[in-house]
Amino acid sequence: MEHEHFDQLFIRSIALDDRPFNRDEYLKEIPAIKQLEKQELVFDKRVSFLIGENGTGKSTLLEAIAVASHFNPEGGTKNFYFSTSNSHSELHEHLLLSKSAHERDGFFLRAESFYNVASYIDDLDKAGGFGPPIIDSYGGVSLHLQSHGESFLALVKNRFGGNGLYLLDEPEAALSPSRLMSLLIMINDIANANSQFIIATHSPILMSYPDADIFELDDIGIRKVEYKDTDHYKITKDFIERPDYMYRLLFESDKENDDR
Residue-wise pLDDT tens digits, 54-87: 989 999 999 999 999 999 888 888 877 666 556 6
> Of 67, 64, 75, which is closest to residue 28 (Cα–Cα)?
64
Name the H helices within 95-230: 114-127, 148-159, 177-191
Q: Which fold has domain 6-229?
A: Rossmann fold (3.40.50)
The pTM of this model reads 0.86
Domain ranges of the chain: 6-229, 230-260
> Contact 204/216 with Cβ under 8 angstroms?
no
Share of the chain above pLDDT 90, in %: 56
Residue-wise pLDDT tens digits, 157-178: 988 999 999 999 999 988 999 9
Q: How many C-beta atoms lie closer than 10 Å to residue 104's C-beta?
A: 13
> Contact 128/145 with Cβ under 8 angstroms?
no
Residue-wise pLDDT tens digits, 184-218: 999 999 999 999 999 999 999 999 999 999 999 99
Burial zone of 189 (CB within 10 Å; 0-12 exposed, 13-18 middle, 19+ buried): middle
How far is residue 100's CA from residue 7's CA, in Å, rounded to a whole number?
7
